[in-house]
Amino acid sequence: MSNNHIILMGEYGDIIKKLDGSKYCIRSKYQDELVKMKEKSKGEFEEFNERTGKFIWSYPEKIQQLIKSNEFTKSDITMIFYLATFINGTGYLAYENRVKLNKKGIQTKLEIGRTLFGKFFNKLIKFEILIPSGDHFKWNETYNFYGSTKGKAKPKTLVRTYVNQIRELYETKNEKGKRKYSAINLYPIFALVPYLHHSSNIVCKNPSVQDIEDIEYFNLKEIAELLDLRDSKRMVASLHSLALDNQTTFIKVESKNEAYLKLNPRIFWRGTNVPDQNLVAEFDMIDNNRKKK
């Protein structure tokens, strides 16, 4: 093989064919299988994302910074995540019809009073999460962004945040027409995102570890402490009551007096491959049994 050609030779050393090296390459059967597996995995992930819907990218480290900051309340964290779902391809907050949101539009979407909105809005401006642009606003893409990751960050450092699911949790109404879940009720979902293991969605201390057996999960008492809640039993009951279109949000897994939590991968997913079928099936199993009761 020369620098410019791939030479195919016969049994007796005779040249059968010359191929342009800039257009063709040689790979082993093993390499060929790896390529096929990668393409299959990519296709399965695309199908999962298509079923689960549009998503934005979120930075786990930035989420942690907001949570640890004394400037932002639990309700603020929920509202920040909700607003981020309105980021469009150019970085502006916009409606589905691409019309950009102004200040009044943002307040209307949040469904909060003037005084509370004023305090929250001023924080967003002060900490440059929202960036004014005329009468409209860009979202700081070091927190969340929509579209290609090229030139911004590696996907494995980000979390897929599924838009329709976040909006539904925030917007869903009860029988009286009021929001079913308060911003504080929803806070644990967002506060635990930085601790999601990349391939199992287990809430843990070492989310980047590769092997499942090496996961150091948070027990329920530790999770309650993370969330600044006193009663772990009440916390679990509250998390279990959060339903997304009749889909379970959190699963509690118990074994020998130990318990840990998993978050539904249809809401947040940190992995770079499609979620394991067994993980998705776990949530489906619980939902199917709940419907029978």
Extents of the domains making up the chain: 55-172, 192-293
Res 97: pLDDT: 85
204 beta partners = 217
Distance (Å, rounded) from C-alpha 195 to C-alpha 272? Answer: 16
Q: How many CB atoms lie within 10 A of CB 115?
A: 8
Res 243: pLDDT: 79
Q: How many CA atoms lie within 13 A of 132 on its CB side?
A: 8
Task: Output the tens digit of pLDDT for each of the chain's 293 residues.
Answer: 445 676 666 666 666 667 676 666 666 665 655 445 555 445 666 787 788 889 999 999 998 999 899 999 999 999 999 999 999 999 999 999 899 999 999 999 999 999 999 999 999 999 999 999 999 999 999 999 999 999 999 998 999 999 999 999 999 998 999 999 999 999 999 999 999 999 999 999 999 999 999 999 999 999 999 888 877 778 888 887 787 777 789 999 988 888 999 999 999 999 888 898 899 898 888 888 777 76
Res 21: pLDDT: 63
The Cα-based distances of 207 to 161, 233, 265 in angstroms read: 17, 24, 14
| The CATH number of the domain covering residues in 55-172 | 1.10.10
Residues with Cβ within 8 Å of 286's Cβ and at least 6 positions away in sequence, in order, are 248, 251
Residues with Cβ within 8 Å of 41's Cβ and at least 6 positions away in sequence, in order, are 273, 274
Res 273: pLDDT: 87
Distance (Å, rounded) from C-alpha 49 to C-alpha 59? Answer: 19
Q: How many helices (H) and strands (E) would you count in the chain? A: 10, 12
Res 231: pLDDT: 72
CB burial string 46-81: b at 16+ within 10 A, e below: eebeeebeebbbbbbebbeebbeeeebbbbbbbbbb
Res 247: pLDDT: 79
Rg for the chain, CA atoms, rounded: 24
Distance (Å, rounded) from C-alpha 189 to C-alpha 58? Answer: 14
Res 237: pLDDT: 80
For residue 111, give both structure tokens: 């469904």
Is residue 248 a contact partner of residue 263, using CB atoms and an 8 Å limit?
Answer: no
DSSP-derived letter for residue 152 is: T
Phi (first) and psi of residue 51, to 5 degrees: -70, -40
